[in-house]
Chains A and B, each alone.
Chain A
Amino acid sequence: MEGKIVVVTSGKGGVGKTTVTASLGAALALQGKRVAVVDMDIGLRNLDVVMGLENRIIFNIVDVVQGKCKLKQATIKDRRINNLYLIPASQSDEKDTIKPENMKWLCNKLKKEFDFTLLDCPAGIEQGFKNSIEAADEAIVVCMPEISSVRDADRVIGLLYSRSITPKLIVNRIIPKMVERGDMLSHQDVVDVLSIELLGLVETDENIVVSANTGLPVVMQKDSKAGKSFIEIAMRMNGHPDLPIEDPTAPRSLWKKLSGKISRKSKVQIS
């Protein structure tokens, strides 16, 4: 059976696409799937450093597309996780070196080798985005509970629909305290506005920064809440679509409920 091509996109930059791609790739591979993660940000690669594989790059995606090397030569095996592979972007080429038809060709090859191919889409809706969605079977839209991020996500969702791709949503970097206080959009607000299926909720987690510092996947850190969320999202993608989504903002104890109420009193009134 052929594998799936999943594009991870957001429109807006800096909302966590690369972290989501690296973490879901790691989680899916730990669940026994063969996974390739592809950095589509030609000229500004970063998936390699987040995964701690930056010093193993010899060939990249542009070399493959231009026939300078075989796909296998540009495919870097992860240091820790079996069945996880990275295809890095080139750092020196122009953004539009790759064309949509190149991606079709490449993704057809990847489908035969891997159960999941995750494409880390660059920010924006230009060539890199067009290349990334060209051969995608599925899409994950990453969105922060923040006004500009939601707006850009909405634009990207429209573009995906026009290509007959039905995207699923990850609300990333939720700050439960702020949501409880009423100072941050809740995931429900975001879902209401975007009206697409929710795939997962991830709260802001300091472990993500540490994980990027060291190049160790956050899904392998035992006490990371974000890591746990990514593992569950990977399970939903991987045969358990009905796994319940835990709400990070739900008060977990009476004390939290009380403190939530008290802080709500100090809310700024806007009439």
Chain B
Amino acid sequence: MMFNALFKKLMNRGEDSKEVAKKRLKFALVYDKLEIKDEMLEDLQRDLMEVISRYFEIDRKQMSLDIERAEGTSALILNTPILAARHKKPQQNNPPA
């Protein structure tokens, strides 16, 4: 075994294919988990709407939440028209820890 490894190094064959596989696998597993179901996005949108409404008056119907995917990266994009700011200090539901 050791001789084989040494021989490979001497031949300068570069990286073992299993090392390539490991790197690709790690990346693929992360990438796979970025696929999100529509229901989860809807839940997130509802929660975000609730939080934002504490600070701003927003047009709920026009709010949109999307995941934009381009090669290698993903971005969460929230778009909402603001009608007015709420000037009253919002009630603290959860006191800061």
Contacts and interface: CB of A to CB of B under 8 A. Distances in A.
A binds B: yes
Interface of A: 48-49, 52, 54-58, 90-93, 209-210, 212-215
Nearest to A56: B71
SS class, residues of chain A in contact with chain B: helix
B17 A54 contact: no
Contacts of B70: 58
B32 interface: yes
Contacts of A212: 21
A97 to B, nearest CB: 11
A215 B24 contact: yes
B72 interface: yes
Contacts of A49: 24-25, 28
A54 B20 contact: no
B87 interface: no
Interface residues of B, number: 17
Given A49-B24, A55-B27, A214 B17 contact: yes
A227 to B, nearest CB: 15
B37 interface: yes
**7 smallest A-B Cβ distances: which pairs?**
A213-B21, A213-B17, A92-B35, A54-B28, A210-B17, A91-B32, A58-B69
Contacts of B31: 54-55, 57
Contact of A91 (B20, B24, B35): B35
B18 interface: yes
B36 interface: yes
A269 B45 CA distance: 70
8 contacts: A49-B24, A58-B70, A90-B35, A91-B35, A92-B37, A214-B20, A215-B20, A215-B24
